[in-house]
Structure 1
């Protein structure tokens, strides 16, 4: 991670690469924190603002919908307009929307603020990842940066549950959003202070062809509109299916519209020289493999942080604070594993590491599928969540590395947007399917068993299917990660800094 100074470095020489990476990682942590911080607070938000069942669901869905649908557009905007500029703008928008959510006294204002939060996150995540990948060329430096990225991502998701519980119990649900607003403002200050402008330390390191890594051409408005509408329909249909059922006319209609729009998007992209997702993105490295496996990982990852707090509160009867504290071992295991991921990869190789990590995580979910309605945190939750954290930390690092492997510098922001999109959309698909499954199993068990037993049966079914999905991903990993000759050549080329 130590880079030699250049003549262009001197105006911002105080910003060491480790400091820059810390500021960027804090931005990623903020995005992941906002994904899960409201989960524990939802019952209090519902009572405090008078939300219906559907409105309560959309406090979560509005954020995920905007985030997932706009990530590709955010990644391309970062490549075209400058990654530092887009990152700073996204953080400013995110902080403002978070403050508005905390001040909301009306359900419509709260849900709208959550959607604007998602818009800001769609700018932050790909821009921050592209800047982080530009800090070091392919090799040990990049792997170390990815280890940090994996650690803060998992810690943000688990830490959101903890912080949400602490703030809700101590000061009330509005502070869930106020704390995010304050934290985001601090991160924005760090980005402005330490992440160099174009022409500074990072941007000063040029590509082999003399370019600065910025994408040429104009923004693909038609392709962006098509894919954004397609992803909006997809995520909306899947999240609505959790409450309305898979046969609901609105669900079927939006999913059909998504299919049509994705087909239109593919046709548009084949004919446009400034395509939003250019074919060259998949021509080198193992981008497609990394994104497919990340989608499978995301489908169970996001669902874990939805079901686990529900089991702890509804079945075990834990308070919000205790539920949040129960996520600490998972977060610690995730951070440790992500930190050690580079060493594991050097010993086992990329494909074997991904397979082992996914199987480790699958074992944890299989253990969770044996939850008991009369269980306890120590007997039923602690052990499997530590196992899941270990597997998740390594898997996230390895699959993110695959998804950006060999990507041309001018497409780094788009690649970051794509891998975040697949994780987010995979999470929406997984959560919708698993929530529907859990609800069906619970409904079927309620007649002859107690309510808590029926709830537990639904959670057990969701965790068992999650384990099966991860086993499938583990079986696919060695097949999909075999590097082609073209990908090897591309991956060997150093990636310039490209900071904006």
Structure 2
């Protein structure tokens, strides 16, 4: 029964991950249909991931207070309804509004679902379950591009949102019957709405700075003030968490070495993965003129490589330990991203992003197991929320950064922007490997 529940929870999580990548391949068509420019297309990704990540801690806290099953069902219902509304959008405002609503539903669903996985399984079974969870998320991200290509080339881009509706209804029905009811794991307390708003607004300022830097410049006063505003907001969030009676999170949890390592690795994995998808889909469709379907087909190797990397890492984690696997994953991603940075041709790009996918798939498993392997049951919701928060912030930061670095190629006929984008991602992966070598614990995490 537990593994059946895991299957439906994984399918729900898969929808949330797909909603980043399935939209990525439809972006050129959305831009031509509405029509909108580069900034709005970037926000079509970032509005979802910003709401998703910014409210994730609140969603994890609600799961601890009300019980994970209730929050999973409520979040899935909201996400399903918002998907229908987004598909019906005929203007920029409705499109972005629907994406924000999807993000709110995802922020409730994702940490609650991961909390259920952590509490349903123990010991070695938990590592295997997290491996399945990570493989679904990482591989699904790449499979989303194939699905997005099929839907966009067939009935049209609104169907990348409509497809969530029947699937969501089936999962809601199944989990309502199969999932065991879980009691609250934390004492009743108020919800820290102000804390959630502070972290979301601060992240929004940072993403806005990154998106606008593509046109306004990286070293302009406007960019500097926005980055400073984000830094001040994050500092205010930390201070508020230390003084409020009902904090959104225990700040001390984030400075624990396993949790800090896990959040760093999940951030890096998502930044690199979204760079692959964003740059790849525009390179194949805008620069080479390939259709949405064939672009999705070219990303199939990324899907298989990501799932393979996650599967092999899940099996090796207990034997090898987290540190060598984290460093290997980041170095593999650096090599893969470095290939299209040096030779921007279709074959090299396809091979390079597949290699990078294998590296990021490994990172997903190491990040989840490291961050969640040593938390107490009453902290599972918040810890899961932290991991998922940094996952979505990584998508927001990655989309904004590569969009600005590659701006000249997204709107013009040159390949310079794509080369710069892949170079930035490769350098970030190499630098991340150095940090991981110092920060990551050497031994595999053990269950509490």
TM-score (norm 1): 0.83
| Alignment match, 1:227 | 199
| Alignment match, 1:387 | 355
What RMSD, in angstroms, separates the aligned Cα atoms of the two structures? 2.4
Shift of 1:95: 0.6
Q: Residue 458 of structure 1 aligns to a residue in which SS? A: helix
Matches of 1:236 and 1:194 in 2, distance apart?
42
**Equivalent position to 2:189, from 217, 221, 230:** 217
- Is 1:404 aligned with 2:389? no
Render the CA deviation track for 1:333-358: whole Å, top value 9, x for unaligned: 11122122222223322111111122
| Alignment match, 1:90 | 75
Shift of 1:148: 0.7
Q: Residue 276 of structure 1 aligns to a residue in which SS? A: coil
Matches of 1:393 and 1:296 in 2, distance apart?
11
Larger Rg: 1
Distance 1:44 1:439, change over 3 A: closer
Q: Residue 185 of structure 2 aligns to a residue in which SS? A: coil
- Is 1:71 aligned with 2:56? yes
**Equivalent position to 1:465, from 424, 443, 446:** 424
| Alignment match, 1:134 | 119
| Alignment match, 2:406 | 438
| Alignment match, 1:100 | 85
Matches of 1:258 and 1:30 in 2, distance apart?
30
Q: Which protein has the bigger helix share?
A: 2
| Alignment match, 1:425 | 393
**Equivalent position to 1:117, from 83, 102, 105:** 102
| Alignment match, 2:164 | 180
Distance 1:280 1:405, change over 3 A: farther
Shift of 1:368: 2.1
**Equivalent position to 2:150, from 146, 156, 166:** 166
Shift of 1:94: 0.6
| Alignment match, 2:270 | 298
| Alignment match, 1:314 | 286
Shift of 1:272: 3.0
Whether the 8 Å CA contact 2:238–2:251 is kept in 1: the answer is: no
Whether the 8 Å CA contact 2:58–2:192 is kept in 1: the answer is: no
Shift of 1:193: 2.5
Distance 1:23 1:285, change over 3 A: farther
- Is 1:335 aligned with 2:307? yes
Matches of 2:31 and 2:398 in 1, distance apart?
24
More moved, 155-164 vs 274-283: 274-283
More moved, 292-301 vs 390-399: 292-301
Shift of 1:483: 6.4
Matches of 1:381 and 1:309 in 2, distance apart?
11
Shift of 1:216: 4.5
Shift of 1:310: 1.0
- Is 1:43 aligned with 2:28? yes
| Alignment match, 1:479 | 438
Distance 1:49 1:432, change over 3 A: closer
Whether the 8 Å CA contact 1:98–1:181 is kept in 2: the answer is: yes
More moved, 382-391 vs 304-313: 382-391
More moved, 307-316 vs 60-69: 60-69
Shift of 1:52: 4.5
| Alignment match, 2:240 | 268
Whether the 8 Å CA contact 2:214–2:405 is kept in 1: the answer is: no
Shift of 1:396: 0.8
Render the CA deviation track for 1:81-112: whole Å, top value 9, x for unaligned: 22111111111111101101111223221221
More moved, 59-68 vs 24-33: 59-68
TM-score (norm 2): 0.92
Matches of 1:88 and 1:380 in 2, distance apart?
43
Matches of 1:355 and 1:44 in 2, distance apart?
38
Render the CA deviation track for 1:107-142: whole Å, top value 9, x for unaligned: 2212211110111111111111111111222x3211
Whether the 8 Å CA contact 2:334–2:430 is kept in 1: the answer is: yes
- Is 1:289 aligned with 2:227? no
Matches of 2:214 and 2:194 in 1, distance apart?
31
| Alignment match, 1:206 | none
More moved, 392-401 vs 49-58: 49-58
Matches of 2:420 and 2:232 in 1, distance apart?
32
Matches of 2:204 and 2:382 in 1, distance apart?
18
- Is 1:62 aligned with 2:50? no
Distance 1:275 1:90, change over 3 A: same
Distance 1:39 1:77, change over 3 A: same
Matches of 1:108 and 1:473 in 2, distance apart?
37
